[in-house]
Amino acid sequence: MGVNERAVQLLSSEGRHPTPRYAGPSGGRSSFLNVPFPSEREASIALGSLAPDSEPRKGGISKEMCTAGNILNVKWSADEARILRVSVGSFLDHLALVLETMLEFGPPVPL
């Protein structure tokens, strides 16, 4: 099983499902992913872990991330479907690692 499938399995195992939505503005490609977490704190931790990974390409793709309550929202915009696919796949690999780490170490300690 690939890492991307593992990320979805980790989310699904506790009744949470990522919700991908796709839209195509004129001439470009966009992808949205909304990942629910058990708490706002865990969504914030995931954002903090994933935000430093900016897109390596300077043109052709952009990624925006934010949290809304316990939901991590990610939006990509790209000039080409291939670039979008690579970026989303890479993000899912990193998300799987964050989720596995959270599962391994348990829920965060309250502040």
Residues with Cβ < 8 Å from 90, sequence gap 6 or more? 53
| Residue-wise pLDDT tens digits, 4-43 | 455 545 455 445 555 444 444 445 789 999 999 999 999 9
| Cα–Cα–Cα angle for 78, 99, 106, rounded to 5 degrees | 155
Output phi, psi for 68, to 5 deg: -135, 100
Nearest Cα residue to 36 out of 21, 50, 51, 17:
17
| Residue-wise pLDDT tens digits, 48-106 | 999 876 666 667 889 999 999 999 999 999 999 999 999 999 999 999 999 999 999 98
Domain boundaries, the chain: 3-95
Please tell us whether the domain made up of 3-95 is placed in CATH 1.10.1060.10: no
CA distances from 101 to 9, 78, 106 (A): 14, 29, 8
pTM: 0.72
